[in-house]
Amino acid sequence: MQFPPLKITFLGTGTSTGIPMIACPCAVCHSTDKKDKRLRSSILIESPTTTIVVDTTPDFRYQMLRADVKKLDAVLFTHPHKDHIAGLDDVRAFNFFQHRHMPVYANELTIEGLRREFGYAFADKRYPGVPNLSMHPITLEPFSIGDIFITPILVWHLKMPVYGFRFGPFTYITDANRIEEGEKEKIRGSQVLVLHALRRENHISHFTLSEAIATVHQLEIETAYFTHISHQLGLHHVIEKELPEGMHLAYDELVVNV
């Protein structure tokens, strides 16, 4: 299959609190290194004709402004946790300027969450100016948005099913602590894998750094970036030096081309 060239921009690479975390006295939250400033995790994917955002974080408005996004064709969701959906209201700006609804692609569990959190956008009588969304329920069946072909990958976030996505040679997976063997097959052969790595210490629903590294080794991926990072992981430049060859910490505004 022919895939269009894709430009991936990391809009945010932080865990749910972001870095710096409000009121935190730690060294990471007080670092002056730009790479230690992390908005909540999200990526922008651009082909020559199509622009998609994965998740709308609480920082969505600023992320769109910072990356100077003028056109957005669709929103794709991984799961309904607040740090991945909270910014959805701000797609209104694209509704105004693109004179159309915003297509939203999400699994059933996430659509349920969106209907709950943004009930006013789904009401029969809608207040003028609320987000205008068109819902596209997705399953594990591959689908396309414009010229971008997408294969959903099921991963587990403790007991919550989360969708990772493969876009041709590029795979994005966040908020997981377990991937079943069958789903790992969908990731194999990716040129670039983004995987989430929260911190060093164990967590019930998130991969640790060593678990993420082991997964990359097991899948024999050449280039990997870790995201959804907690201030507990440490300073960017310190951790980056410790990582095996081909593995990096992602940082905000990093651009990867595949």
Task: Report the DSSP beta bridge partners of residue 38.
Answer: 19
Identify which of residues 19 and 219 has a Cβ nearer to Zn ion in the complex: 19
231 is a contact residue toward Zn ion (CB under 5 A)? yes
Instruction: Give me the least distance between CB of 245 and Zn ion, in Å please.
Output: 28
- Binder among 24, 140, 158, 214 for Zn ion (CB under 5 A): 24
Identify which of residues 1 and 22 has a Cβ nearer to Zn ion in the complex: 22
C-beta of residue 35 within 8 angstroms of C-beta of residue 236: yes
Instruction: Give me the least distance between CB of 94 and Zn ion, in Å please.
Output: 23
- Binder among 46, 175, 211, 252 for Zn ion (CB under 5 A): 175
Tokens describing residue 169 = 């040679």
C-beta of residue 235 within 8 angstroms of C-beta of residue 27: yes
Say which DSSP state 19 is in: B
36 is a contact residue toward Zn ion (CB under 5 A)? no
State the amino acid at position 98 in one-letter form: Q
Question: Strands 74-76, 51-54: parallel, antiparallel or unpaired by DSSP?
Answer: parallel
Q: How far apart are CA 174 and CA 164, in angstroms?
A: 7
37 is a contact residue toward Zn ion (CB under 5 A)? no
| H-helix or E-strand spanning residue 52 | strand 51-54
196 is a contact residue toward Zn ion (CB under 5 A)? no
26 is a contact residue toward Zn ion (CB under 5 A)? yes
255 is a contact residue toward Zn ion (CB under 5 A)? no
Q: How far apart are CA 4 and CA 25, in angstroms?
A: 45
65 is a contact residue toward Zn ion (CB under 5 A)? no
- Binder among 55, 83, 183, 252 for Zn ion (CB under 5 A): 83
For Zn ion, which stretch binds (CB under 5 A), given 57-65, 107-115, 142-150, 229-237? 229-237
Q: Radius of gyration over alpha carbons of the chain, in Å?
A: 18
- Binder among 3, 7, 29, 161 for Zn ion (CB under 5 A): 29
C-beta of residue 87 within 8 angstroms of C-beta of residue 109: no
Identify which of residues 109 and 130 has a Cβ nearer to Zn ion in the complex: 109
Identify which of residues 21 and 47 has a Cβ nearer to Zn ion in the complex: 21
Q: Given phi > 0 = left and psi -120 to 50 = alpha, else beta, which region is 246? A: left
Question: Which spans of this chain sit near Zn ion (rule: CB under 5 A)?
Answer: 21, 24, 26, 29, 81, 83, 175, 231
